[in-house]
Copies of this chain bind each other. A is one copy, B any other.
């Protein structure tokens, strides 16, 4: 593992506070691997043998049922997945694939569980992490059940703009079909909804969306700190 990689991983909330020796022991047996785009890293139903950490790239968490598929979450560096399955020593409930060439650190699940029992500082960090994920998911479920497609899209634009520095220019980090699955709609529907938002403060071509009238967009989106919060 490169020194620069070690540094960014060490900076994760999960590892920031733990002692140097503990960290070394944890990542013993871990390996950092490079994956091309569109590679499946995890299949739902498999037993959780590794805690994955996305060091570089983009990873989609998705799930299937019958012939249908939906996106649960899209992860960018630096983030762990999927901590809950590792903690409970159970099967994954979601699959994961790369959406861009990515570098993934894989830590053996046994290391994580073993260290959890040994280091209270790490234990504290793991709970924080899982609780954070839980809350993110609550937000996603509220978004899904309480809003229309247009509202979800409008709020996604605002939130993504914020994450990208509030420049009023959002660039989609993945395909539109993926975004549509994340927002819980079909690609056709996303296309139409995007077109209809043109009358409410945005304009776009390709993977670029410009926020030309933020107030109009806000009137559409009506963001809520208990759904779209900065967490």
Residues of chain A at the chain B interface (Cβ within 8 Å): 44-45, 63-66, 68-70, 72, 83-85, 87-88, 90-91, 93-94, 116-117, 120, 123-124, 126-128, 130-135, 137-142, 144-147, 184, 222, 224-227
Q: How far is the CB of A166 from chain B (nearest CB, A)?
A: 23
Copies of this chain in the oligomer: 2
DSSP majority for the A interface? helix
The answer to whether B72 and A138 touch across the interface, beta carbons within 8 angstroms, is yes
Contacts of A44 in B (CB 8 A): 226
Docked Cα-Cα span, A135 to B84, in Å, equals 7
Supposing A87-B127, A120-B117, A127-B116 touch, asked if A63 and B146 sit within 8 A by C-beta, the answer is: yes
The answer to whether A127 and B134 touch across the interface, beta carbons within 8 angstroms, is no
Q: How far is the CB of A49 from chain B (nearest CB, A)?
A: 16
Contacts of A132 in B (CB 8 A): 84, 88
Contacts of A140 in B (CB 8 A): 141
Q: List 9 A-B contacts (CB under 8 A).
A: A63-B142, A63-B226, A64-B146, A72-B138, A87-B128, A88-B135, A93-B139, A120-B120, A134-B134
